[in-house]
Structure 1
C-alpha cells in the first residue's frame, strides 16, 4: 500500500503527549531495557513490537473489563485493546528516536457484516536509514490472527476483505484519532467499548 503521511513535519511523529507518554518512568525503563538488548534502531523496533504484541494482553481476547488508553497504563496493567497497544508501541519507539504514527482499518466486529464494523488501530514506522515508512500491527496473535514485524511485505493481523466493505485506510496520523480516544474515555468498560468503537475515520 502507498501510505499517505498526514504531517510533513517528521518531528511531529516523535512528539510526546499525555497518551504517548514515553518519559513516564515505567515506559522509559522498558525503553532502556530494550536499548541494552538491541544493537540498532531496527533491532530496537522489532524487540519493542514483539514485547507489545506478545506481553500486552489484548483486552477483548482475555474478556477483560479494564480500559487502558495511555502508553503507561497499558504497560502498568499489561493489557489494552488494539488502540492502546498502538499507543504503547508508538511511545516506546518515539522514546528511542524512531518516528511512529497511527493507522486504521475498518473491519467487521466478529468476522461478518451482520456483526457490524469498527475501526482497528495499528502503527506505521519510519526508518531514516532506508527512507521508508511501513506498517506493523501489535494487536497480538491468536488462532486465526497472526502479525509479524516485517518491512516488506506487510504481515498485518487482518487481511482486508473489500467484498465485505472492510477498508484499509492509507493515512499515517501523527496523533491518535480524537474519536477513537473519546470512545475509550466515554466507555464504562471494555464490553461497552467493543460496540462503542468508531466505525469510520
Structure 2
C-alpha cells in the first residue's frame, strides 16, 4: 500500500459513530462468533461480510442500508455499506480501521467511486475489499498485501486514493442516505469523485 494519508486522529480509527455503530447488540453478538486473535478475527469478519452480506446490485436487492447494524439486519448493501459493517466489526475488536476509495470507469464514459477498507494488521496498514465475489471477480483476505477487486487503469483516469478516512466520506454517505432505492443509486446516483 502506498503511504496512507489519514483523515482523522489516531483514536478516530477505533471509535464508534452513527454509521459505525458497533455497540449495537446484533453486531456484538456476531463478533462473538469469530475467533480470538487479530488476524483470525479480521479474516473471519472479512469472510462473513464478503460471503454472507450480498452486494445490492449483484443480488438485485432494492434496499440501500448505510448504518452498519442495518447492513447486518438486512443482509445486503453496496460496497460502501459492506465496508461500514466490516469496519464496525474490526473496531469492536480493537483493530484500527478506516475507509478508502477507488475511482473506476463506469460503463457510460464516466467514473464511479468504489469503497474499500484499510486496516492495521501486524503493524502495517493493508487495503481489503469485502465487496463480494461474482463471476469474473474474486477477493480474499490478506494481511500481507492489498487484495482489491479492481486494479485501477491509471491511463484511463482510474485511481486508488491514498486517503484513509476515519468516517465514510460525506459524498458517499449522502448518496446512500438520499437514495430512493438501489436501481436509482446504481444508474446515476453513485458519486464519481471525492468532491
Q: With structure 1 as the length reference, what TM-score do the two structures score?
A: 0.92
Question: Counterpart of 1:151?
Answer: 143
Within a 5 Å distance, the mapping from 1:36-185 to structure 2 comes to 38-110=35-107, 114-127=108-121, 130-185=122-177
SS where residue 176 of structure 2 aligns?
A: helix
Partner of 1:22: 22
Match of 2:189 in 1: 196
- Does the Cα contact within 8 Å between 2:8 and 2:166 map onto a contact in 1? no
Partner SS for 1:6: strand
Once the two structures are overlaid, the 10-residue window that deviates more, 41-50 or 161-170, is 161-170
Would you say the 8 A contact 1:13–1:100 is kept in 2? Answer: yes
The total of aligned residue pairs comes to 193
| Runs of 4 or more above 4 Å deviation | none
Query: For 2:91 and 2:145, how far apart are their aligned partners in 1?
Result: 23
Alignment RMSD (CA, Å): 1.3
Please say if residues 130 and 139 of structure 2, whose CA atoms lie closer than 8 Å, have aligned partners that are also in contact.
yes
| Unmatched segments (≥5 aa) in structure 2 | none
Q: Partner of 2:33: helix, strand, or coil?
A: helix
